[in-house]
Structure 1
Amino acid sequence: MPEHWVTDILGEPFESLTIPFGEDAEGPLIATLVRSLPPLTSRFTGPLRDVDVLYVHGWSDYFFQTELAQFWNNLGARFHALDLRKYGRSLRTGQTPGYITSLDEYDVDIGAALTAMGHAKHAANPRRLVLLGHSTGGLTLTLWAARHPGRAAALVLNSPWLELQLGAIGRQAIAPLVQVRARLDPLGTQPAVDLGFYTRAQTALGSLPDMDQRAVWRPDRGFPTHPGWLMAILEGHRRIAAGVDVGCPALVMLSTRSSNPLIWAPEMISADSVLVVDDIAKAATRIGSRVSVDRIARGIHDLFLSAPEPRADAYAALRAWLTRGALGRV
């Protein structure tokens, strides 16, 4: 069946491809791949003209970061973003948003996206693959790269969720309780963990898109969480803590500081109000042998949605890492 790309909701030059791949108890499962191609000049002369980028979003999120795509396009790379099953463009009525019981299940979504990009497992492709993940997407892609050595030329992680906010000791303490609930009541309710302050900070910065779908695809207080999903996350964190090898150069980008997520404060527009960034920096040392960590002053959780100056610093840091040899001279 031929691929059918259509103009995406973001408008030109963005196109999207709906990829069905089965169903579960809640109905059909699909992933949605969004792409933007570099302008003609960059396509032939850009320093990354042989690079394909695959971006995966975080929890309670979807792809809308057009400036991020433009950054890669201007360097000659083809940019692709994946809305995973039950997220964003792939979320269907009656589905539990973001729900998964193992992060390994996303191998199907990622594999389908890579096939559409021309990077099927055994396909010969002279183009290099760069994986780019934010938050939970960073955790997902880190584990995927470790299970699929040699597939990616580089891994870029934007505030990846590599460790629970309670730290390793807290994670180990709650894991047995979560495991019991995940077995007995996987879709049960849990206390709200998102009080809406991260969205408030992004709104204050003017970082969020004005889209009709935002309230459903990216609610201010995030999706409700469930024991089955939390167990999948804890298992991912356990694997990271035990050590993995992504098998390629990796850049982990983080804010220089975290803020208290439970009380609104003006500093939330210049700090990570979601993760404990120092714990993530430590966890980053356990994902491979060629890992660089870059800390961005006054960056928020999604560094590329920060205020103009730290946002520019984040792009400069990424470009500098590429220049130092991860993908050749830029």
Structure 2
Amino acid sequence: MAMDTGAWAADAPPGYAEDTLPGQWLPDLLGPGFEYTTLAAGEDEDGPLCATLVRHVPESPPEHPADHGPRLRGMVAGLVEFATQHHHEPGPPVPAVLALHGWTDYFYNVELARYWTRRGYRFYALDLRRYGRSLRAWSTPGFTTNLSEYDADLEAAFAAMAADVGTLGNVVCVAHSTGGLIASLWADRNPGRFSALVLNSPWLETQGSWLVRNAAAGLLDPVARRRPKTRLKLPEVESYWQSMSREAHGHWDLHPLWRPRRSFPVTAGWLTAVMAGHAAVARGLDIREPILVLTAGRTRFGTVYDSEMLRADSVIEVDTVRQRAVGLGREVSVVRVSGAMHDIFASALPARRAAYAAVSRWAGGYLPALAEEHRRS
């Protein structure tokens, strides 16, 4: 399998993403083969909200010399698509993958998209409201007071995918870290919407166990109710960024605004929402679709970068996550990926290869059967 961590399509990444018209797809900063569309999501006290759906499409041929450039071409194509998207001829169901990012994160992994595309899936990734391509100058980055707020983003993504392909088949969710928590809770509340889940280091429990979570919740709840945007005084570290970024010790081009060196400021409202999600997982979920959970082989915490963080999870306690994972649903497979970091699919090449091989083994058993089940229904 060819491995490509990708690079910026231009010399420097843009700042805030440009809004699209409804149904319009514009060229994405990840370069040829990637486009995005803005999904309106109402507004909050700060201003308008949106989510952003990225899609991986076959790479187009080289531009004609008379072409006016990819931006204009993408706008024209988007307008034509908008005019016709509700008039698809019925066709066979198209299986799809929907990827969800984690905290202080966005979609950047072109290799992951190409892996699923080669398996015959239409690949999409969702930048949730107040993250990545959906971040705006007036936004409080990553802020929420309830993880169910993202239900609207997921519903909008499903609608946009269906409009894009005509007849949407099975949808596999590939979710990382906090995105894995969000996806698990949503799948529990919405049985049958996802056909399967691949959870990449899902953040399923607070560091230090449920005892720490309960104690912290008791202290935070009053603050979160009165002043949810209160910033918590936590250590600001950049060790994980250093293990990821090509500018330091990693392999990836990370957008400086969407994935800064240090995490977004942690607010009382956001942390209370996450801990409420952890509490729900601890009580046990009843996800009926097959689940694959991937974790690193071990944890390596620290406020200062060291080289062991290239081969271990420096964000979550992997042993605790594996314990929580078996309570997510009825059929859960758990795989330890030796030498992996927190983002399994952003780890060093040997760990990524091992992770993709594990997904392929799991998918070979479950996903063809799911496709056949959809055809019979």
The TM-score, its normalising length taken from structure 2, stands at 0.80
* Residues 123-162 of structure 1 aligned to structure 2 (within 5 Å): 125=167, 127-162=169-204
The one of 126, 130, 133 equivalent to 1:82 is 126
Between 189-198 and 320-329, report the one with greater CA deviation.
320-329
**In structure 2, the residue corresponding to 1:300 is in which secondary structure?**
coil
Judged with a 3 Å threshold, the aligned counterparts in structure 2 of structure 1 residues 114 and 193 are, in CA distance, closer, same or farther, namely farther
Superposition pairs of residues 178-217 of structure 1, within 5 angstroms: 178-203=220-245, 204-209=248-253, 214-217=255-258
| Alpha-carbon spacing, 1:174–1:150, altered in 2? closer, same or farther (3 Å) | same
Hey, what's the Cα distance between the residues in 2 that align with 1:82 and 1:271?
A: 26
3-state DSSP class of the match of 2:257? helix
CA distance in 2, matches of 1:300, 1:216: 22
How far apart are 1:263 and its partner, in Å?
Answer: 3.8
User: What is the DSSP-based 3-state SS (H/G/I as helix, E as strand, rest coil) of the residue aligned with 1:315?
Assistant: helix
Cα pair 1:182 1:228 within 8 Å, conserved: yes
Structure 1, unmatched stretches of 5+, are 41-48
Map 1:24-39 onto structure 2 (within 5 A): 24-37=44-57
Structure 1 CA distance for aligned equivalents of residues 22 and 136 of structure 2: 23
What's 1:317 paired with? 358
1:62 aligns with 2:62: no
Residue 295 (str. 1) matches residue 336 (str. 2): yes
Q: Residue 251 of structure 1: CA displacement? A: 0.4
**Aligned residue for 2:277?**
236
* 8 Å CA contact retained: 1:38, 1:73: no
Q: Secondary structure of the equivalent of 1:216?
A: coil
Q: Deviations along 1:142-171, whole A, 9 cap, x unmatched?
A: 001001001111011000000111211111
Partner secondary structure for residue 256 of structure 2: helix
Please tell me whether the aligned partners of residues 51 and 77 of structure 1 are also in contact (alpha carbons under 8 angstroms). Answer: yes
> Is 1:245–2:289 an aligned residue pair?
no
Matched, 1:18 2:38: yes
Listed one character per residue, the Cα deviations across residues 91-149 of structure 1 (whole Å, up to 9, x for unaligned) are 011210000010001000110011001189xxx94611111100010100000100100
Partner of 1:46: none
- Structure 2 vs 1, CA of residues 289 and 137 (structure 1 numbering), >3 Å: closer, same or farther? same
**Percent pairwise identity:** 44
3-state SS, counterpart of residue 334 of structure 2: strand
CA distance in 2, matches of 1:169, 1:78: 42
Residues 197-233 of structure 1 show CA distances to partners (whole Å, capped at 9, x for unaligned) of 01111235432215xxx22111111100100111100
1:260 alignment partner, SS class: coil
CA contact (8 A) 1:205 1:307 kept: no
Q: Provide Cα deviations, 1:289-329, integer angstroms capped at 9, x if missing partner.
A: 10000000010000111111011101111111111224449
Residues 253 and 294, structure 1, Cα contact 8 Å, conserved in 2: yes
Letter in 2 for 1:106: Y
1:155-195 per-position Cα deviation (integer Å, ceiling 9, x unaligned): 11000000111211111111111111101221112123451
2: CA distance between counterparts of 1:106 and 1:325?
27
Normalising by structure 1, we get a TM-score of 0.91
CA contact (8 A) 2:170 2:370 kept: no
The residue number in structure 1 matching 2:149 is 105
Give the whole-Å Cα distance in 2 for the aligned partners of 1:38 and 1:58.
26
Deviations 1:254-277 (A, max 9, x none): 001000233432211100000000
1:116 aligned to 147, 160, 163, which one? 160
1:159-178 pair list within 5 angstroms: 159-178=201-220
8 Å CA contact retained: 1:254, 1:277: yes
User: Which amino acid is the alignment partner of residue 85 of structure 1?
Assistant: R
The residue aligned with 1:43 is none
Q: Quote the Cα distance in structure 2 between the aligned partners of 1:84 and 1:155.
A: 18
Distance 1:138 1:227 in 2: 21
Q: Take 2:191 and 2:235, find their aligned partners in 1: how far apart are those partners?
A: 34
Task: State the one-letter code of the partner of 1:152.
Answer: F
Which blocks of at least 5 consecutive residues in structure 2 are unaligned?
1-20, 61-92, 372-377
Who is 1:45 aligned against? none
Give the Cα separation in 2 of the matches to 1:250 and 1:39.
Answer: 31
Q: Alignment length, in residue pairs?
A: 317
Return the index of the structure with the highest Cα Rg.
2
Q: Per the alignment, do residues 190 and 208 of structure 1 end up closer, same or farther by CA in structure 2, a change over 3 Å counting? A: same
